[in-house]
Amino acid sequence: MKMEDMVIISVDDHITEPGNVFDNQLSGEAYATAPKLKVKSNGSNYWEYQGRKIQSVALNAVTGRVREEYGMEPTSLDQLRKGCWDVDARIGDMNINGIAASLNFPSFAGIDGGLFIAAEDKAQSVVHMRAYNDWHIDEWCGSHPGRFIPLGVLPLWDMAETAREVRRLADKGCFAVTMSDNPTMRGLPSIHNAYWEPLWKAVADCDSTICLHIGTGNISPHCSMESPIEVNIATMPMAVAFGAADWLNLSALHRYPTLKVALSESGIGWIPYLMERADYSHEQHHVWTHSNQYFGDMKPSDVFKRHFTSCFIDDAYGLRNLDLIGEDNVCYEVDFPHSDAPWPNAPEILWKSAQFLTDSQIDKVTHRNAMRVYNFDMFAHHKREELTVGALRAQASAAGVDTTLISTGGAAPLAEGEEPRPVTSGDVVAMYKQHAEAA
């Protein structure tokens, strides 16, 4: 296989939502009370919902921007690459990056639907969350059939409504739902509480997948406010191990042997050690911890391989150990348009790491695992030869997709006499606080 022959699905990308999300979905009072995209006096955009203001920060949508201007300052849509918020332009950006299909997480709504979960008027939240899902499936994904894997957010404060929404989404062809890896951070019961049983059953019945995105619950800690921020950035994927270990001990995985869990934006290099450690811990301690009540004859590593998939951006170490992780348990991601996204060079970076793999393994990691896990058949809409890296880039070239880097002059100026220094965790926390107060 050549690099140009790969067919690549990204199972973790993001939408910076445009202002018309609810225009075609709601009317009357429901529309009047829906989230609204507004403009501040400085020209930056923010969303407002039930008295809460949600500020967009640049690192959420810096793809295509000069790296010197990466940062946390608030932005407006017109400062971003159009593919961040316009679905037709997104297709062009996917094509130039050789990406056949993409699963997109929300931004203003919260990666795990947190905006609606935190809202006080829950009756409104159900209406608006459902409308958001319909916009995402019908307008965003539906505008280009076979190019987007649909994803739904859930009213997790109400299990009857949640189960109903899982089934409604499945009827619409959406077999992926998102939630926090640690819902106690949202004021909800832990995943080990019987509260969640209707969700487990609905997801298993519909053959849907629960997506646990990094940073929605168990987050990578800041070692100190003086630590360079790259410490936090570098350790983010490893922080996923805390949530993964928690879900690995979920008894529902044994009551529902087909339940599927996707670790989103997770990396994979840490997984072999977690499975090894979990197996050792179980063997060493199960007599007094009574974990055999649900593990039975299975080892934790067996449970991981049966239920979990993970994804990576650039993880040559993980791919060298694919046999330990399981070639059926790994997918690929770009993370467009976040700061880690390797746009427009994802195929080159992936191909360099994939040299350890057979052609069959490359196919699994790049698209076949994703198609199976998310019940997504892009070949029902497009021929394989139309979706290869080479074919998509040819389409982008013919369409004149421009990859010129954007500069808005947003790099923070230095004070007179000030020397450049590493950005620290304290700097970033202060930026977040400043923008939250300004919003």
Q: What is the CATH number of the domain that holds 67?
A: 3.20.20.140
Q: Give the closest residue to 128 by CA, choosing from 58, 27, 196, 205.
A: 27
Q: Does the pLDDT at position 298 exceed 60?
A: yes
Instruction: Provide the domain count of the chain.
Output: 1
In the chain, % helix, strand, coil (3-state, to 5) comes to 45, 15, 40
For residue 316, the model assigns a pLDDT of 96
pTM: 0.95
Q: For residue 356, count other CB atoms closer than 10 A to its CB.
A: 14
Mean pLDDT within 127-136:
98
Structure-token pair, residue 50: 């039930």
What stretches of 134-215 adopt beta strand conformation (E)?
A: 148-149, 176-179, 209-213
Provide the greatest CA pair distance for the chain: 67
pLDDT digits (tens, 9 = 90+) for 347-366: 999 999 998 899 999 999 99
Q: What percent of the chain has pLDDT over 70?
A: 95
For residue 411, the model assigns a pLDDT of 58
Q: Does the pLDDT at position 438 exceed 60?
A: no
pLDDT digits (tens, 9 = 90+) for 3-32: 999 999 999 999 999 999 999 999 999 999
Q: Does the pLDDT at position 261 exceed 70?
A: yes
What does the alpha-carbon distance between residue 245 and residue 308 come to, in Å, rounded to a whole number?
11
pLDDT digits (tens, 9 = 90+) for 375-407: 999 999 999 999 999 999 999 999 999 999 988
For residue 416, the model assigns a pLDDT of 64
DSSP per-residue string spanning 278-315? HHHHHHHHHHHH-THHHHTT--HHHHHHHHEEEEESS-
pLDDT digits (tens, 9 = 90+) for 320-354: 999 999 999 999 999 999 999 999 999 999 999 99
The size of the chain, in residues, is 439
3-state SS assignment for residue 225? coil
In the chain, what is the straight-line distance between the N-terminal and C-terminal CA atoms, in Å?
50
Mean pLDDT within 124-139:
98
Cβ atoms 166, 126 nearer than 8 A: no
**20-24 long-range Cβ contacts below 8 angstroms, 24+ apart:** 21/131, 21/132, 21/135, 22/128, 22/131, 22/132, 22/135, 24/135, 24/139
Cβ atoms 64, 81 nearer than 8 A: yes
Mean pLDDT within 308-323:
97
Q: Does the pLDDT at position 73 exceed 80?
A: no
pLDDT digits (tens, 9 = 90+) for 182-201: 999 999 999 999 999 999 99
Domain that holds residue 8: 3-438
Q: Does the pLDDT at position 296 exceed 80?
A: yes
